Amino acid sequence: MIRKIFAAIVLAFVAAPLHAETLRQPPASETQVTLSFAPVVKKAAPAVVNVYAQRVEQRAPRRNPLFDDPIFRRFFGDALRRGGASAQSLGSGVIVDASGLVVTNNHVIDDMNQVKVALSDRREFPADILLRDPRSDLAILRIKGPKGAVFPVLQMGDSDAIQVGDLALAIGDPFGVGQTVTQGIISALARTETGISDYGFFIQTDAAINPGNSGGALVDVDGRLIGINAAIMSQSGGSVGIGFAIPVNMVKAVLATAVAGGKEVHRPWLGATLQNINRDIADSLGLDRPSGALVADVDPRGPAAAGGLKQGDVITAVDGKDVYDSGSVGYRLGAKPIGGVASLSVLRGGKKEIVPLKLLAAPENPPREQLTIGGSSPFSGATVVNISPATAEEYSIQNAAAGVAVIAVQDESPAALLGLQKGDVVLSLNGEKMGATRDLQRVAAQNPYVWRIQINRGGQTITSVVGG
């Protein structure tokens, strides 16, 4: 309906002669006066919620002798007996199932253990966290409402069907002021160089998005969800017309895992290392443009090798949908469920080929054997796992077939002071190769005068010497 109204107004202005006398004429029809997105908002807004999250850590308070005074205890005892620390977060979410399933951004509830949602009609309910998926920056909640409660739902659209220039509305709770609607267009598609998440393939919009909009809805003019607002590009912290939303087709993949009772999203394993194509690489390959993803290496154990993908191939499409770089390939595969077969369109020696790819989960071989290093070594406070196809995929570790991967570093720990980062791979300590997490734990328990450390960071080997 809105499309027809908008088209009618454009047609009326194009068809009319542009002179002063015509511009002073009253509107000829109601459609020339009443262009409004109100019907779309009325349909979509009830399913957009505010998400309030907090982390509460209980700790025993120190005993205060004033508690022995019955008068003091009467007035202040209950408040002062409670010990703990808390942190809070504010964002938005979208109800996608009448039973109360809510999609939001993972960064809205990251490190939080208590969540509450507020509906547009001001009802408030606690919610359980069903699934966190940091790689896509999505999370799924379930509203703990009354038995048999039916919640308003926002119908999901198809993010592959939208086009640059389409009208779009952003609905959320910016700065905590209350539910707000902003309007704009789809400014760009398939934005991959954003650094927002591992699956960077974002919808860009100029609809105003501000802090607090995270997790809210980006809808089309038919009132269907096409994306989850996730981030803005801004130097001031406010909207400058460059916002990014996670495509709804990725949301569908994460939601399917939560509905099935899964706690972790398993995605298809390519089993190959990809490289973006620049102008020089395109010229050397005889390509007319720098587009697609170059296969730099193929794991002989993976589905890519089994399907016949070769080093030097250029992937140009997945299941007939064009890809422009390695991030595009990751998104196209990441949005697919485990099982079945995908078709990779590749250029090989100037000829087009189709490579079948079985959609299999990466194997966890060897087992991860997760450990947090203690003691007083430079590695104390680092959480590490064994390198396997599964852990390399999960933590986006590339070009590391051996070693021990760092997956977390405690703040202000010796490991943090050393400069260790999530994604680093410890290759050797004092000349001894690190084949497993227990090797690192054993060597870290020693107390040498000097630590000779070799790590792989982003494909580069770094060697350093630290005093014991």
For 44, 218, 225, 275, 357, the CA distances from 170, given in Å and listed in that order, are 10, 5, 10, 34, 36
Task: Extract the tokens encoding 26.
Answer: 């009253």
Q: Does an H or E element contain 168, and which? A: strand 167-172
Q: One of 136, 187, 214, 377 is an active-site residue; which one?
A: 214
Considering only CA atoms, which of 234, 271, 226 is closest in space to residue 251? 226
* 137 annotated active-site: yes
Catalytic residue flag (residue 214): yes
Two tokens, residue 151: 């919640």
Six-digit token pair at 429? 């300590």
Residue 325: half-sphere exposure toward Cβ, Cα within 13 Å? 13
Beta-bridged to residue 462, according to DSSP, are 455
Distance CA 13, CA 24 (A): 13
Q: Which of 89, 92, 136, 137 is catalytic?
A: 137
Distance CA 193, CA 184 (A): 22
Query: Would you call 266 a catalytic residue per the annotation?
Result: no
Enumerate residues 6+ apart whose C-beta is below 8 A from 30: none
Which residue among the candidates 107, 187, 206, 239 is catalytic per the annotation? Answer: 107
Strands 321-322 and 314-318: antiparallel
Query: Which residues are designated catalytic?
Result: 107, 137, 214
